[in-house]
């Protein structure tokens, strides 16, 4: 579930970090090319 992974990464953000913490998301299988995903729809609920 992409939403759970992105939410966990954002929650693990250090409190001293400023600015945009998550710039991009790429998903890929072991031997296949990566597919870029726009994280903004997932960040709206976090």
Q: Would you kindly state where each structural domain of the chain is located, as residue ranges?
A: 2-43
Q: Which residues contact 26 (CB under 8 A, 6 or more apart)?
A: 34, 35, 36, 37
Mean per-residue pLDDT of the chain: 84
- Cβ-based neighbour number of residue 19 at 10 Å: 5
Using alpha carbons, list the distances in angstroms from residue 2 to 8, 19, 34: 10, 22, 15
Residue 9, token pair as written in the block: 């990464």
The pLDDT assigned to 46 comes to: 57
The predicted-structure confidence for 20-37, as pLDDT tens digits, reads as follows 778 888 989 999 999 998
- pLDDT at residue 35, as a whole number: 94
């Amino acid at each position: 579930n992409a939403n759970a992974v992105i939410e966990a990464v954002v929650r693990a953000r250090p409190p001293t970090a400023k600015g945009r913490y998550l710039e991009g998301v790429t998903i890929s299988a072991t031997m296949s090319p990566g597919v870029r995903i726009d994280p903004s729809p997932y960040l709206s609920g976090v």
